[in-house]
Amino acid sequence: MESVQKNMIYEHEGKQYIRKGECNNCGECCIGWINPCPNLEFIGNIMSCKIHDRLADKDDELVKSTCNVSTIACSKFPQMGDLNFDSIRNKCGYYFMEVEKILVACPVHECKEYSFQRWIDNVKSFTYPLFDIFVVDNSPTEEFINRYKDQIPMVHIADLNQDGNHSHERITKSMAVIQKKFLAGDYSRWFNLECDLIPPKDIIEFLLYWGRNTDWISHCYEIRQDDTGNIQQGIGCSILSRRMVEYVDYEKADSPDAWMWEEVRKAKRFHTMELWQYIDIKHLRQ
Same-domain pairing of 79 and 166: no
Does 110 share its domain with 64? no
Same domain, 130 and 245: yes
CA distance 124 to 193: 13
Q: Is residue 15 part of a domain?
A: no
Name the domain boundary from 49, 69, 92: 92
- Encode pLDDT of 142-155 as tens digits: 999 999 999 999 99
* The pLDDT of residue 2 is above 50: no
| pLDDT per position as a tens digit, 217-248 | 999 876 655 556 555 556 899 999 999 999 99
Q: Does 228 lie in the same domain as 256?
A: yes
Residue 260 lies in a domain: yes
Closest CA relative to residue 273, chosen from 197, 202, 219, 192: 219
Final residue belonging to a domain, choices 46, 67, 92? 92
199 close to 193: Cβ distance less than 8 angstroms: yes
Alpha-carbon separation of residue 275 from 100, 101, 267 (angstroms): 21, 22, 22
User: Do 248 and 180 lie in a common domain?
Assistant: yes
Q: Say whether both 48 and 150 belong to one domain.
A: no
State the amino acid at position 208 in one-letter form.
Answer: L
Average pLDDT, whole number, for the chain? Answer: 83
Domain, as residue range, for 59: 23-92
**Pair 79, 154 in one domain:** no
Confidence of residue 139 (pLDDT cuts 50, 70, 90): very high
The residue-averaged pLDDT of 50-77 equals 67
Is residue 231 domain-resident?
yes
In a domain, 1, yes or no: no
pTM of the predicted model, to two decimals? 0.77
CA distances from 79 to 15, 29, 34 (A): 14, 11, 19
Q: pLDDT tens digits for 172-186?
A: 999 999 999 999 999
The count of domains in the chain is: 2
Contact by Cβ (8 Å): 8, 130: no
Instruction: Flag whether 16 is in a domain.
Output: no
Is residue 136 located within the same domain as residue 223? yes
**201 and 76, same domain (yes or no):** no
pLDDT of residue 66: 72
Q: Are residues 88 and 138 in the same domain?
A: no
Same domain, 126 and 48: no
CA distance 185 to 162: 30
Final residue of a structural domain among 62, 92, 122: 92
Residue 10 within a domain? no
Residue 202 domain flag:
yes
Whether 3 is covered by a domain: the verdict is no
Q: What CATH number did the domain enclosing 220 receive?
A: 3.90.550.10
Same domain, 265 and 176: yes
